[in-house]
Every structure is written in C-alpha cells, then in structure tokens.
C-alpha cells in the first residue's frame, strides 16, 4: 500500500516557516492577558514598594535556573557565540562567507570599538587563537549548511531587540532574537523566531524559546507563529508552535526566576 | 497643558492615534518666529549650534563626536531603502538596502563623495562589514514598513528631516521624521526611535513637533506627532497645540542655555 507523507524539510528555515496553508489566524488578544499575569505576579512578589534598582531579566537568566556555573559563560564560549551571531547576520542578507572567523571578527569590531571580550580575543596567541578560529569556522559551517536559502521576501531581520518595562520600572525584561522572519501585519500568523546557540540544547533552551515568544508577543501585541532554537554544536533544531498555553508558561517561568533572584539578593 | 500620551505601539493603537488626532491645529506666525529668534540671540553662541530632540533629551550634554557605524547609518540607508520598496513593491527590503549601498559605493568610486560622508565611509568597508551595515538597515526598513502597513490610511515616507535656521542666531534646528500621514485636514507625523523612551522622551517629542512646524513654510503644526519605539512596543504622542509648540520652543532655548553654560564651565 502506498503511503503519502509530508516531505521532510530541507533546511532549518523551511522547517521553521512550515506549511503556509496551516497557519493559524493572528492572535491579537493574548498580549494583554500575559501582561496582567506578569504585573500581578510581580506585585505579589514585591508589593507596592518598588525595588531601589530594577530587576533585569534576560534570556540567560532563565537558562541558568539554579544559579549554577555554566560552561557557556566562559570567555571562549561567549566570543564564539558573538561571532556566530555575526555569521548569521551576514547570511541573513545573502553574504557569502569566505573566512567565517575573520569576517565575523571584522564585523564585530565595526560594531564595538572596545570591550572586555574584544580584549580577550586580542590577547589570544598561537594555539589558543587557532583553537578559537577552528571552533568558530566549524560552527559557522554547520550553521550555513543547515540554514538553507533565505528569500529576501521573508522580511528577514537579525539581532532584533525587545525591552518590556513592568510595574512602573520595577522589572525590565530584555531580549535579543537572533533572527526573525515573517511579518506581524496580516490575517495569519507568520512571524517565526530563530535562536542560535553554540552550546548543545538542554532544558534551558526550551525556556529561552518560550521567553523569546513571550517578549515578542508583549512587544508587538501579536503572537508569533513559531519559536525555535538551533545548536551549531550538534546541528539539532527544536521548534515549538506558539500558543497561549506556551506563553502563559513562560510568564510563570519569568516570575519563578524573579522570585529566585529576589531570594538571593 | 501638555497633551503627551503614552500608548502601546500596536497597529490598533496607532490607527486610533491617527484617527483621533485633533482637528484644530496651531499655526506659527512671523511674530512667533521673530520672538523665538530673539530668545536664541539672547543666548551667546560661541560656535554655530545645532539642536535637535536628542540634545533636548540629553539636557544639553555634549554627545561624543559623531562617527559612522552600522547603528548611525541604519536610518539613512533604511529610509532610502524604504522609499525604493514603496516605489517598487516587488523589491524586498534586503534588495532595496543593497541597491542603496551600491549607489553610495558608486558615488564614492566616482569621486563624488565628500570626506566624512556616508558614501565615503561605506567605500572604506570590506564585504563582511558592508553585510552588517546592510543587516542593520534592513532591520530598520522592516520595522518601519510593519508600522506603516499596519496603518489603515494612506502614508508616505518623509522626504527628508525638518531643518530650520533661526534667523541671525547662529542656530540650526533639526527634527527627525520618518512617516507622513496626510489627512483630510492637515497631517500626522511618525518618528521611529530605537531603544525605550526615557523620562525626557516627551520634551524631545515636543521639540520635534516645534521644529517640524517651524520648517513648514505655512507654519502649520502637524495634527499629532507620534514617536514610536518598536523595541519597547510603546508609542508617545503630542498634539499640535499652541501649548505644546510653546513648551517645545522653551525646551530648545533652555537646551541652548545649558549647552552654552556647560561649554563655558569646560573652558574655565
């Protein structure tokens, strides 16, 4: 008996965009409810008195759930992450990479004049520099092979920042989405979020994916279609369809993280 | 009384802000212009000064010298790219920005670019650096396009920023504007900003409104001036009332005073 199955996607972005005919209608109503959950939760944590210094939550705050030491926070890993993000930004505009490490480093230097991590790279010599170069090149090759062709008509943007100030500035949620495709204007949901990590995927990656979707919803008022994360270490990609349940879960994760941080201050 | 209001920057809210813009707008006459000029002349200017919303928001603090970077180039390239997208809807944002960069590079290669100009700076960049500039400008095009496409009414990309030279006061005022929404009576102006609005975003927006009105040859204020911060999902707006225009002019003069005082203290 012949069986018809959906062909498997050829690239990460194709998988992310999915079948256009199966997209849900744009959800414009969830954002207000999520904001209420967050504002009420923060009020129950801190009461009416605002903390002297606002609590800042980032995607990395959710990744490190137990405030343990994370190997991905080493200078080498952070530099690798930044450079791979620059590789992604270049690929997003259709640039051809000849030497991923040098290209990404030049682009980074153009953006940032100086800094602790740039100094770290400048201090590297011999074997250490060669190790970083090889490492970045390997991750860049995995990324460019898996990403697939990107149509300019997909409204691609990279390193998209989002900030949400809650409870009169008591809590600030910050986020940077590595790559975003689709538009929030339209009858059907089409915004897909793509996060790239140079670490293997773990439990924290799922929380980060949800956090990206939450921030994008709060920022634009429109629920995105899908959120995904891609590991250049393993070539693995996780993707989740975004719905109200996922967003509510993320809002509670933010509140849990806040509660942990407040307890440790 | 100021008409500053804060809203979410969703298409629904922005449409409401445009739709409900007040019908009656203020008009700046020659007397107003003379009065403003006199006030600026009263503030000693050791050098030609340039004031804009940013200097008002920074309370006259001198910003570190301007230099081109992907962040400073994105609006100029982005708005030029956006005009291309509007002219040719088949042209995608990335393609439009790439074409704009190519034009700038051509200007540089043919010797038409001044030292310190955008074309001159782009001409010195490598391919990977140009790709980053292109990525930043594409982000700008897409975010402004999303705001514009969410509007129910006709819109157009602002032809240029508003400039006004204050007569005999060695002062140039500049207001940034990104989208013009022509209405039956008057217009609404949108300005897209990066980051989140600070505490002084309101005064900044009022000075933009004032400068935009001064630069208008008939002196007619926009019915509403809307500042949109897409990163924060927030929109602030001020109406084109005489109270707001006066407050904007006061903030600009005050900034000139503070700037001069700081310069004097630095020199002493």
**Chain A contacts of B143, Cβ < 8 Å?**
157
Q: How far A166 CA sits from the closest chain B CA (Å)?
A: 11
Start-to-end Cα distance in chain A: 64
N residues, chain A: 265
Query: Residue B235 pairs with which residues in a beta bridge?
Result: B7, B228
Residue A138 confidence (pLDDT): 96
Tokens coding B1: 């009384």
Write out pLDDT tens, residues A124-150.
Answer: 888 889 999 999 999 999 999 998 888
- Considering only CB atoms, B139 lies closest to which of A95, A160, A220, namely A160
Which chain A residues have a beta carbon less than 8 Å from that of B146?
155, 183-185
Q: Is the dihedral of CA B213, B224, B40, B258 positive or negative?
A: negative
**Given pLDDT bands bounded at 50, 70 and 90, which one contains residue A194?**
very high
Q: How far from A67 is each of A63, A142, A175, A264, CA to CA, in Å?
A: 9, 30, 19, 10
Please tell me the distance in Å from B72's CA to the nearest CA on chain A.
10
Q: What integer pLDDT is reported at residue A3 of this predicted model?
A: 58
Per DSSP, helices labelled H in chain A are: 12-17, 30-46, 59-63, 75-92, 100-111, 116-123, 126-147, 203-220, 244-264
Contact B150 A185 (CB under 8 A): yes
Chain A residues inside the 8 Å CB shell of B69: 110-111
CB of A88 within 8 Å of a chain B CB? The answer is no
Which pLDDT score is estimated for A70? Answer: 57
What pLDDT sits at residue B1? 67
Q: Which of residues 17-46 of A touch B (CB under 8 A)?
A: 28, 31
Tokens of B30: 């020659």
**Residue whose token pair is 């020199």:** B267
What average pLDDT is seen over chain A?
A: 88
Backbone CA torsion sign across B43, B49, B52, B56? negative
pLDDT digits (tens, 9 = 90+) for B248-260: 999 999 999 998 8
**Taking CB atoms and an 8 Å cutoff, what residues of chain B touch A28?**
10, 12
Ordered by start, the domain boundaries in chain B are 5-60+153-267, 70-149
Task: Spell out the domain ranges in chain A.
Answer: 12-67+151-264, 71-147
Cβ of B146 and A185 within 8 Å? yes
Whether chain A has a CB inside 8 Å of the CB on B139: the answer is: yes
CA dist list (Å): A83 to A71, A76, A103, A174, A220: 17, 11, 9, 21, 28
Q: Do A220 and B10 touch (CB under 8 A)?
A: yes
By the CB < 8 Å criterion, does A168 face chain B? no
Distance from CA of A5 to the nearest CA of B (A): 33
Interchain pair B195, A185: CB under 8 A: no
Give the mean model confidence (pLDDT) for residues A244-250: 96
Report chain B's C-alpha Rg in angstroms.
19
pLDDT for position A41? 94
What residues of A are in contact with residue B89 (Cβ under 8 Å)?
none
Nearest CB among B8, B126, B231 relative to A161 is that of B231
Radius of gyration in angstroms for the set of CA atoms belonging to chain A, rounded to a whole number: 20
A123 touches chain B (CB under 8 A): no
Whole-number average pLDDT of chain B: 92
- The yes-or-no verdict on residue B266 having pLDDT over 80 is no
Question: What's residue A71's pLDDT?
Answer: 56
């Amino acid at each position: 008996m012949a069986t018809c199955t959906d062909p498997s996607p050829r690239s990460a972005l194709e998988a992310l965009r999915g079948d256009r005919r199966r997209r849900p209608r744009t959800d414009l109503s969830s954002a207000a409810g999520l904001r209420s959950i967050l504002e009420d939760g923060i009020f129950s944590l801190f009461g009416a008195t605002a903390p002297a210094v606002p609590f800042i939550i980032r995607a990395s705050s959710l990744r490190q759930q137990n405030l343990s030491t994370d190997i991905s926070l080493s200078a080498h890993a952070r530099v690798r992450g930044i450079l791979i993000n620059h590789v992604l930004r270049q690929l997003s505009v259709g640039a051809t990479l000849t030497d991923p490490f040098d290209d990404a480093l030049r682009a980074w230097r153009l953006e940032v004049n100086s800094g602790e991590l740039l100094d770290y790279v400048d201090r590297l010599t011999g074997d250490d520099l060669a190790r970083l170069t090889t490492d970045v090149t390997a991750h860049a090759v995995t990324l460019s092979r898996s990403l697939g062709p990107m149509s300019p008509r997909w409204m691609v943007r990279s390193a998209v920042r989002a900030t949400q100030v809650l409870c009169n500035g008591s809590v600030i949620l910050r986020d940077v989405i590595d790559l975003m495709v689709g538009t929030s204007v339209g009858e059907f949901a089409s915004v897909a979020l793509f996060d790239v990590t140079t670490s293997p995927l773990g439990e924290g990656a799922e929380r980060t994916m949800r956090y990206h979707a939450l921030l994008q919803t709060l920022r634009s008022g429109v629920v995105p279609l899908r959120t995904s994360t891609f590991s250049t270490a393993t070539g693995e990609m996780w993707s989740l369809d975004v719905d109200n349940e996922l967003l509510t879960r993320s809002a509670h994760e933010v509140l849990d993280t806040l509660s942990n941080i407040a307890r440790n201050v | 009384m100021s008409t500053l209001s804060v809203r979410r920057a969703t298409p629904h809210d922005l449409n409401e802000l445009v739709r409900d813009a007040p019908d009656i707008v203020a008009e700046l006459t020659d007397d107003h212009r003379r009065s403003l000029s006199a006030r600026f002349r009263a503030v000693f200017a050791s050098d030609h000064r340039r004031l804009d919303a940013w200097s008002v928001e920074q309370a006259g603090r001198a910003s570190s010298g301007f230099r081109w970077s992907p962040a400073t180039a994105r609006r100029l390239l982005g708005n030029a790219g956006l005009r291309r997208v509007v002219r040719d809807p088949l042209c995608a944002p990335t393609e439009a920005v790439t074409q704009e960069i190519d034009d700038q590079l051509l200007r540089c290669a043919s010797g038409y670019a001044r030292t310190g100009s955008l074309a001159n700076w782009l001409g010195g960049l490598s391919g990977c650096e140009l790709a980053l500039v292109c990525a930043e400008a594409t982000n700008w095009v897409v975010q402004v396009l999303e705001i514009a496409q969410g509007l129910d009414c006709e819109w157009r990309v602002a032809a240029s920023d508003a400039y006004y030279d204050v007569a005999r006061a060695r002062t140039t005022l500049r207001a940034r504007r990104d989208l013009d929404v022509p209405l039956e009576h008057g217009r609404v102006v949108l300005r897209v900003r990066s980051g989140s609005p600070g505490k002084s975003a309101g005064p900044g927006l009022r000075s933009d409104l004032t400068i935009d009105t001064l630069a208008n040859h008939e002196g007619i204020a926009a019915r509403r001036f809307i500042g949109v911060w897409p990163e924060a999902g927030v929109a602030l707006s001020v109406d084109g009332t005489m109270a707001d225009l006066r407050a904007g002019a006061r903030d600009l003069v005050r900034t000139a005073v503070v700037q001069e005082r700081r310069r004097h203290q630095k020199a002493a």
